[in-house]
Amino acid sequence: MRLGALGIAAAHVTSNARRGQPLAKPRAKHASISLAASAQPAKTARIAAGSHSNPRGPGLALPTPVYPFRLGAAAEHAELWVKDDGAIHPLYGGNKARKLHAVLATLVAAPPRRILTFGAAGSHHVLATAVFAGVAGIPVQAVLLPEPHTEHVEATFRALIGQGIAIEPALSKARALPAFLRSYRRGDQVLGPGGAGLPATLAYVDAARELERQVKEGALPPPDEIVVALGTGTTAAGLLAGLASTRLTSRVIAVQVIGGSLSRATTLGLAWRAARSLGLRNTRGLAERLTVERGELGSGYGLPTPSSEGASRRGADAGLSLDPTYTAKAFAHALARTARGPAGRVVLYWHTLSTLPLAPLLAGSPRLAELEPRLRQLLRPIRR
Ligand SMILES: Cc1ncc(COP(=O)(O)O)c(C=O)c1O
């Protein structure tokens, strides 16, 4: 079992069934990814409902750094800090690396024949699944939905194709279920969008505890607010439940980047489940500590806004690269909250995007023009 190559060992999982025909199986299989690159000291992860013990993280470089973000600040500004998960793993970073390690740890005892998962064309989750399951020797099939065509989305899309996974395009939401049914095979392990679920949520419970240790060690002041992008809500939910198990009193400000009104309920549901699995009694306090911020969504998922573009420029000036779909919107909100002050308040922006160059993952990827039209159509032109 090659999960050991990622330093992963652990728990148990369920698997499922049916058969399907992938449309595309591109060529390069981890052409330039060296397993040795991930061969950090193996630590045992135990990830199961009610028990999550993963103090250093398997194959992950923990703790991830924290640093102050210099604003050339007006005196009345709050302080802005960054907790940077971007380089948490040498192959691919961001919140997906934390989550995927926790998810794969649950598969060690009974590795599935294949992982079947979902995402938008430029899904960081699908790319991370392709990378980490690929290293573990588990084939991946992904049902992909269209996404607005930005440079970042195109690069991520080509990178995930370059990992040699099978892709079933679903050119509209209505076609997602038929695409899933066509894809599903006996023995598949189905992974929901964003890897959402208890193991992934518990990964961010650990991350909240990691933050508390950094505060205790004096690496940063206790944050009043933690600002993070909200997609499936798993990351925010894990932080919320994890914070409730620490002495930190920080609120979680989850910045919604996907339309719809269920984000708060979904996030709280995931947080409650994680908190209960940890034996935490006061789950009512979770709702009071969560703010879902909808003001950054603009015209919708994956569509840049003037404020997200401004935030991207400010991040880039300071060496923090942001993606238009998730992190630019979250960072824009962190900047706005910081500017609101008051002085002395501490805002922590949690960076969830991989900061590693995509070039090694793009080696061997087809160019866009080389792809079948049904794959190319997954990138939707943006009308301004
Ligand atoms: C870079 C990045 N940040 C944040 C998120 C949102 O994380 P979650 O789905 O846990 O809410 C995603 C999800 O895809 C992501 O790719």
Q: What is the pLDDT along the chain (384 residues), one digit of tens a residue?
A: 466 666 665 432 222 222 233 444 333 332 222 222 232 222 222 222 222 334 333 489 999 999 999 887 566 899 999 999 999 999 999 999 999 999 999 998 899 999 999 999 999 999 999 999 999 999 999 999 999 999 999 999 999 999 999 999 999 999 999 999 999 999 999 999 999 999 999 999 999 999 999 999 999 999 999 999 999 999 999 999 999 999 999 999 999 999 988 899 999 999 999 999 999 987 889 999 999 999 999 999 999 999 999 999 999 999 999 999 999 999 999 999 999 989 999 999 999 999 999 999 999 899 999 999 999 999 999 987
pLDDT at 58: 47
- Per-position DSSP letters for 263-325, written without gaps between them: HHHHHHHHHHHHHHHTT-S--HHHHHHEEEE-TT-TTSTT---HHHHHHHHHHHHTT----TT
Q: Is there an atom of ligand 1 within 6 Å of 64 CB?
A: no
Place of tokens 């995931």: 270
41: which DSSP letter? P
pLDDT at 13: 28
Best residue for ligand 1 mutational test, from 191, 228, 235 (most atoms within 8 Å of Cβ): 235
pLDDT at 43: 26
Contacts of 132 (CB under 8 A, 6+ apart): 6, 91, 92, 97, 100, 101, 104
From the CA of 267, give the closest atom in ligand 1: 11
Q: What separation in Å is there between the alpha carbon of 233 and the centre of ligand 1? A: 8
Contact 334, 345 (CB under 8 A): no
Q: What separation in Å is there between the alpha carbon of 32 and the centre of ligand 1? A: 26
Residue minimizing CA distance to atom 6 of ligand 1? 231
pLDDT at 55: 34
From the CA of 353, give the closest atom in ligand 1: 1
The pair of structure tokens assigned to 303 is 């569509």
Burial 104-125 (b: 16+ CB within 10 A, else e): bbbbbeebbebbbbbbbbbbbb
Contact 106, 13 (CB under 8 A): yes
Q: How many CB atoms sit inside 10 A of residue 134's CB?
A: 20
From the CA of 99, give the closest atom in ligand 1: 10
- Residues 164 and 52: their CA atoms lie apart, in Å, by 32
The percent of the chain in helix, strand and coil, each rounded to the nearest 5, is 40, 15, 45
Contact 44, 9 (CB under 8 A): yes
3-state secondary structure of 359: helix
Residue minimizing CA distance to atom 1 of ligand 1? 353
Contact 152, 122 (CB under 8 A): yes
Q: What separation in Å is there between the alpha carbon of 39 and the centre of ligand 1? A: 26
pLDDT at 290: 98
pLDDT at 114: 98
Q: Which fold has domain 61-93+197-351?
A: Rossmann fold (3.40.50)
Beta bridge partners of 228: 254
pLDDT at 175: 96
Q: Is there an atom of ligand 1 within 6 Å of 157 CB?
A: no
Q: What separation in Å is there between the alpha carbon of 46 and the centre of ligand 1? A: 23
From the CA of 238, give the closest atom in ligand 1: 10
Cis preceding linkage at 63, omega within 30 = yes
Q: Is there an atom of ligand 1 within 6 Å of 315 CB?
A: no
Contacts of 271 (CB under 8 A, 6+ apart): 201, 236, 237, 238, 240, 241, 283, 286, 290
Residue minimizing CA distance to atom 14 of ligand 1? 194
Report the chain's C-alpha Rg in angstroms: 20
Q: Check residue 175 and give left, alpha or beta (phi > 0: left; psi -120 to 50: alpha).
A: alpha
- Residues 285 and 234: their CA atoms lie apart, in Å, by 18
